[in-house]
Amino acid sequence: MGKRIQGFLLVIILCFGITQCAKKGMPKGGPKDEEPPKFVRATPENFSTNFSKEEIRIYFNEYIKIENPQKQIIISPPMDPKPSILPLGSARKDIKIEIFDTLQENTTYTINFGKSIVDNNEGNPMDYFKYVFSTGDYIDSLEVGGSVSDAYLKAPKEVISVFLYEIDTSFTDSLVYKENPRYMTYANDSTFNFKLENLKEGKYQMLAVMDLNNNYNYDPKKEKIGFISDYIDLPNDSTFTISVFKEELAFEPKRPKQFKGQQLIFGYEGKTDLDSVKIDLINPKPEGFASRIVKDAKKDTLYYWYKPKIETDTLRFKVTSPKRTDTLITRLGEAVRDSLIVTGEPSGTIEYQQDFKFKANTPITEANTDLIEVLDEDSTAIPFTTELKLLENELLLKFDKKEDNQYYIKALPGAITDLFEATNDTIRTRLKTKPYSDYGNVVLRLQNVSEYPVIAQLTNPKGEVQAEKYSTGENTLNFQFMKPGKFLVRIIFDKNENQKWDTGDYLKKRQPERIEYFNDTLEVRANWDINQSIILD
């Protein structure tokens, strides 16, 4: 038995030694390939003139793949239908392009591959290789460039396409909605710079479009647009900056639908002053008829409430806004109406500049302040005022708050009445304020302001407004009780003095109101003051 064990151990030792020897003898391989693919030749040759082929072959010194072709490959002028470009999802030593479009006469075409061409093994990109040909007897060689910015955000969040439309007898401003541009490119790096190459001499309209569906057209419902106000003449040595913006569409109500009993929803597109929108029932109105409109807090939806219940299966409405009138019809079925539920907001902590809100699931019509009280932690009654916001369906409680204190809010039954004359149950809420030391303060000193008034905003990194001040001449602005975090500084030049930012309008050739951002991000810390000079151009 002992000999067996000794033999078994000997086998294990020998195997281990062989394994070690095998590992020592394994080849380590050569150096990592860091070379991008190299262009060898093309058929027809690159920069060919009098081009009339339907197929292009581009050959490389190794197997290549194409990555992200929809985002990387730019064909200018665009071809419709788009050509077939291979390989897709496989590797080969050539790129095959099949052209299905009828090419324009005497036109230089550029197929810019960006960084889409990579070698098959390591993925090393071949930077900005382009294939150029002309259907005429020469290659156009002019170019123009610049950068793209976002009119409202610190930087665009999507790739921006830059279009050139030739100004000729057929040009109209509406071409951007339905026709491909003469030339196009992308603002394709982190600085959103762009360059259009191989252009011909002429006069052009330059546009920038957030072309989300890659169809070389502008969809105002979803996309942003920017434009150079004046036509540009080529050749031109100027560098252009285009600021893209989201247009405000005209208000357009959609066909209403029954949501619940005695409650309809009216979806809509576009923007308008919703306080000016009226929804009038055309059907004969029963005695005691009343209605209310409430705006959904998140969606483009209006809730229409009415009383009493109408015995019909069809309702007809006239919807009137400042710029249009619509007649809309909906059908009714059996549905149960909501009963009044009132809630309070916020719960727990309340900020110093925050109002307490009573919110309801049915329209609030009346508030009895004698049945509402606000007490501090010493049970002392705190004076308050109320504001009923009909469109938002909120009852605001406004009162002064002390540091590190507790407040008790109570609303007795009957304090809040809704459209259907239902009243609330007893509501009790306890709130508290934080110590001042939990917050930071930001003092901005504006310098070189070329014109007033301005709106100074502190936003989060996503561009969402956290606090703002309006100034008609004061250059020192104090933002108190800011929560710790990172903030951007946005300065809006309120040219029309309506105390809000106004976007642009492409067809009316109106640029958006100017915005400047402070380059640095402010980091607010608890119990800390920031004094920052904002030097404007």
Q: What is the pLDDT of residue 90?
A: 87
Q: Looking at the structure, give the CATH architecture of the domain made up of residues 342-434.
A: Sandwich (2.60)
Q: Does domain 438-535 have CATH number 2.130.10.10?
A: no
Terminal-residue alpha carbon distance, the chain: 94
pLDDT in tens, 65-105: 999 888 788 899 999 899 999 998 889 999 999 999 999 99
Spell out the CATH class of 252-331.
mainly beta
Q: What is the pLDDT of residue 537?
A: 74
H or E stretch including 23? helix 2-24
Q: What is the pLDDT of residue 30?
A: 56
Distance, CA of 379 to CA of 306 (rounded, Å): 41
In eight-state DSSP terms, residue 7 is H
Q: What is the pLDDT of residue 29?
A: 52
pLDDT in tens, 301-333: 999 999 999 999 999 999 999 989 999 999 999
Distance, CA of 198 to CA of 472 (rounded, Å): 49
Q: What is the pLDDT of residue 261?
A: 95
Q: Two tokens at 329?
A: 């019809």
Which residues lie below 8 Å from residue 216, measured CB to CB, with a gap of 6+? 78, 80, 161, 163, 180, 181, 184
Q: What is the pLDDT of residue 17?
A: 47
Residue 35 burial (C-beta neighbours within 10 Å; 0-12, 13-18, 19+)? exposed
Q: Does domain 39-134 have CATH number 3.40.50.970?
A: no
Contact between residue 308 and residue 289 where contact means Cβ atoms under 8 Å apart: yes
Distance, CA of 178 to CA of 406 (rounded, Å): 61
What string of pLDDT tens digits covers the 537 residues of the chain? Answer: 454 445 544 444 444 444 444 444 445 555 676 789 999 999 999 999 999 999 999 999 999 999 988 878 889 999 989 999 999 888 999 999 999 999 999 999 999 998 899 999 888 999 889 999 999 999 999 999 999 999 999 999 888 999 999 999 999 999 999 998 999 898 866 789 999 999 999 999 999 999 998 888 999 999 999 999 999 999 999 999 999 999 999 899 999 999 999 999 999 999 888 889 999 999 999 999 999 999 999 999 999 999 999 999 999 999 999 989 999 999 999 999 999 999 999 999 999 999 999 999 999 999 999 999 999 999 999 999 999 999 999 999 999 999 999 999 999 999 999 999 999 999 999 999 999 999 999 999 999 998 999 999 999 999 999 999 999 999 999 999 999 999 999 999 999 999 999 999 999 999 999 999 999 999 999 999 999 999 987
Only one residue has tokens 């560098």, namely 239
Q: What is the pLDDT of residue 34?
A: 78
For residues 133-145, one letter each, b for 16 or more C-beta atoms within 10 angstroms of the residue's C-beta and e for the rest, the string is bbbeeebbeeebe
Please report, for the chain, the start and end positions of each structural domain, with discontinuous segments joined by +. 39-134, 142-244, 252-331, 342-434, 438-535
Can you give the C-alpha Rg of the chain in angstroms?
33
Distance, CA of 407 to CA of 432 (rounded, Å): 6
User: Given 1.10.3470, 2.40.50, 2.60.40, 1.10.20, which CATH number is that of 142-244?
Assistant: 2.60.40
Distance, CA of 536 to CA of 426 (rounded, Å): 53
Strand-pairing partners, residue 311, are none
Cα 120 to the chain's mean position, in Å?
36
pTM of the model: 0.82
H or E stretch including 19? helix 2-24
pLDDT in tens, 430-483: 999 999 999 999 999 999 998 999 999 999 999 999 999 999 999 999 999 999
Strand-pairing partners, residue 57, are 43, 96
Q: Do domains 142-244 and 342-434 have the same CATH topology?
A: yes
Q: What is the pLDDT of residue 62?
A: 94
- The proportion of the chain whose per-residue pLDDT surpasses 70, expressed as a percent, equals 93
Q: What is the pLDDT of residue 85?
A: 95
In eight-state DSSP terms, residue 8 is H
Contact between residue 375 and residue 384 where contact means Cβ atoms under 8 Å apart: no
Q: 374-381: which pairs have CB atoms within 8 A and are 24 or more residues apart?
A: 374/399, 374/407, 374/408, 374/409, 375/407, 375/408, 375/410, 376/402, 376/405, 376/406, 376/407, 376/408, 377/405, 377/406, 377/407, 379/408
